[in-house]
Structure 1
Amino acid sequence: MAHPDESAPSYIPEVAKPLAPYIKSRQEILRIRQALTVYLRSQIEFADDDPDHPGCYSQSRLSLMVPHDAVVDVKRIPPELTGLRRKYLEALQANVAARREYQSVVEKTSPVNQQTDKEKEKPEQPAPDPSSALQEYLGLLRDRRRHAKLQVFEHYLKEIKQRDTVKPEDLEETGAGYRQLTPPGDLGDSQHESKTRDNIEELMDKLERAVIRAKGQLEREKGLLEELKAQRASDPPGEIPPAVKLKALQRTRDELVQWVEEKLMAVGNSETSTGAHDLRPEDLEESARLLEDKKAQIAEQYAAYVDARKRLLDAASRACQPIAPVPTKPPTRPSSMVQEKKAPGDVSSLDPLRVLSFTSDVLQPLSKSQRALALQRSYLSGMLAKEKASTLRILNRLSDESHLLPEYPILARQPRFKHAAAALASRQGTNPEPAKPDEILAMAEAWAFASDAAGANEQEYVEHKLEEGMEMAQEAGQVLQGVYNLLNQDLEDALREGAEGGAGESDIWLSEARMTRSQAKSHRSQSAAKGPWVGLNGQVGVEE
């Protein structure tokens, strides 16, 4: 297991920050090593001659790091390979060549008998196993764990033996219970009871072992907890720095990873050793029967598949055969005579191959065009459904925000007028259950009806206001005419003067002409005044 400092930590000191791009995590390093190992294995030939450990060299990464006798030959280096990998393969080629040369020189210089003795002794020596040290270490760990379990089991076994002895009262109660039991009827029942008793004893033993194991683990956890509490009590209270917390978390993660790996290895070893002993004979028979049934089913399916494939190949071979042209002979006799000679039942049947060519030439384009039309129809229907959904969503939002639809609804669609509409439709002879209308059309009709009703209402309101304005204008004209009559003035002249005065001329001559014109008008009005108010000219007590 790698040390936590070897992995790529998230907290990097200031000194190592320039090397941050080259610091990888443990998973990335493992992936890179695996990729390099696989690639180099494809370029190197190993000496896998050990029958006890086949493929031990090719499966180990140490054989690539320290080749020695593991590498036999190096394949041809591809030209596209450059950099450090090419240098490594070239150096490995040189190493292999040097070792071969050295071996040849040694064989030439050594005597023949020594060479034969070496050849005889060579098969007896076992091939070096690169993973032997690791296997020994793993075995040592398993033995230590088994020894600890045995110690716990021995401790609790002593406690069980040191329990209180059985009291006489308990023996009397158990004896009375045994007297009440009747002896078994036959031998089969006794055997069955003995098997049941054995199973119960085995279960009790397993239960006691599980309890002992749980107690041992509980005591260990309690001891660790007490040690942790004592350590925390001895340490002065203070805030833990983030770097220490990070290192503690990394250490915890590494320990958990190591524990999971050990458990997986233990489970793999236990499955290989105790997998067959946990199954009962009935389960083994049932699994064997299921396996046979599955094999028979697979065989039937494969036979059906082979038959269908043969028929398909026959049909394809018949369809792919070239059609021989039918020789056409010139008619030597009239067709009417030939038809008379032919019997009614001797009608020549069509050749299947000609029919197949007709279908491939005529029906396939039609089927393709039909398929294209179906695809286009489905696409258009999908687009229409999408647009319809968006339109409905917009109309629903606008109907929620609108003030016209609540004020001017369609009365026939109101709940209180539905019965009246149905009765009117039945009286007119129409179908009382019409088809369901389109939602968009119904909402559009509601909007159109509301807009028409709002326009008609607004038009009526404007006409009403215009009539009121006309009446008020007439009344105002009458009142104004009466006022001017009281003042002995002409309303039309006053209105005309107001219109002329609004032009806004600024010339002095125009102003003088206007004054003379007003004087003439006043003189004319004085001469033309009639009625009982002639003497009242509006200038009482005013001297000219």
Structure 2
Amino acid sequence: MPTNDENAAKIEDELSLYIKSREQVNYIRRILAAHLGDCAQGGPIKSSLALANGRDGDGTVETDSTTVHGIYSEYLDAVKNNIAARKEFEAARHYDLPEPRTEGTADGGSVALGLEERVALLKLHQKRDSLYAVQETLDALLEQPAAGPEFLDADRMFQGTPALPPVPRDVINTMVIEQTSSPMDIPGQVSQLERVVLRAKLLLRQEEQLLQEARQRVHRTSQPPSQAAKLMALGATRDELIHWIETELGKASPEAHGTGDGSLGARLGKTDLAAIQVQLADIKEKYTLYVSARKVLLEMASSESQTLPPPSRIVNATKRTSYAASPLPPMDHLLTPYLASLVDASANHKATVAYRTHISSLLNKTSQENSRQLGKAAEGSDLLSTFPQGDASRHRSGTNPASQAGLVSQAQPWVDAADAAKMATLESVAESVENGQIALEGLMSTLKDIGKITGKNLLDSEEIAGEEDMWLGADTPRARRHVRKGSRAQSQSSTDPWAKVRGNLGLLGQEGP
């Protein structure tokens, strides 16, 4: 039994023949419009363009007098058959149904027969509903000709079809730019092309110079080496070979590895056979490398390069094949040390970058922690609220604002607030000292007045001098003023006649001691 997916796929395949794209629909509409225009012959439509114009009283279909062929005749036949089927349906619907059975007969009938009749009745109702729907659709088609504007309404035609995807914004912007762009500047384009051509000529000249230098270099190297150069190369090779043999023999001798305490037999007994095999394999490998290097050196020294023929367009292919055929000497043993040094430098640079990244991350974490601690201290401190930064650093408006970033910008308010607090403390101390000096002067004047009244010097000259030295400098005008007042009081007390009288009078009515 086919599944639901298979049924859906089958239905989609059957309906795909009747579903058209928007371009095809527009094309069909243009063809229909052209056909209708030909039928109307450029003027107003005098008669209906529908094949079936209506029905007469008997229900027959009225058609035009013109003969039709092909699909049009099939359409008219289908319409006639439809009308005939509708007549039959109406006649069957109005046909008198048999009277319902009585209760006695119903009890005597079988249950299966009643169920079949019920199912048949339901099927007839469904068929009637479907025929009604077809009838309504056909009536709508007959009442509304194909050339009517409502029949060709785009909203009704494309109702239920999926909408097209939106046009990308880039395409719209490009179209707008192309439409609103200024006309092409021909002189500007020509000048730009001239600049491109000039740049190409300069590049061509540079390449020609490089090619000339390469030819000269090849010409110099193509000359055969002299006999003296060959002998010098062979001598250097021989010396290198002798030095290498002596080095290997020195490594293989027992004196190079022994300590001088044990005998040769004991050292040979302790030596492992696998270690000897490894050393021999290493020596063979080094000797093979040496032989290959010597062969390459001899080939380079004894090779006689052919002179290059004059350049021509005909022999370009021959030159390319000769260059490709000439084997290049192996240069691995010369490039290996440089590559190893480059690898070491790359590793060192990578390690340096990693260390620098680690240090930077550590410094950033430390800076963030310090900033967090400064923020917490600023929130719980009364110093910054008492002496804000604006009042403390108002005189620094000419400084560079870039220097106040980071920790410096966070620590600067504390420095300014501390300076402001120090200045405020100094001012309060100076004010307190000034008030104390004024109070001391008033006290001294009061004591002197009391001394004048009582005739007794309450302040000794030495104490006054000591106090003046303690609180006031000896050279200040206030100190000199106090000294003058004290001397005047002393002279007055010495010349006063009441000074001879005992000054401890006490209160009235009390006897002296």
* TM norm. shorter chain > 0.5: no
Give the TM-score, by structure 1 length: 0.30
Rg larger for: 2
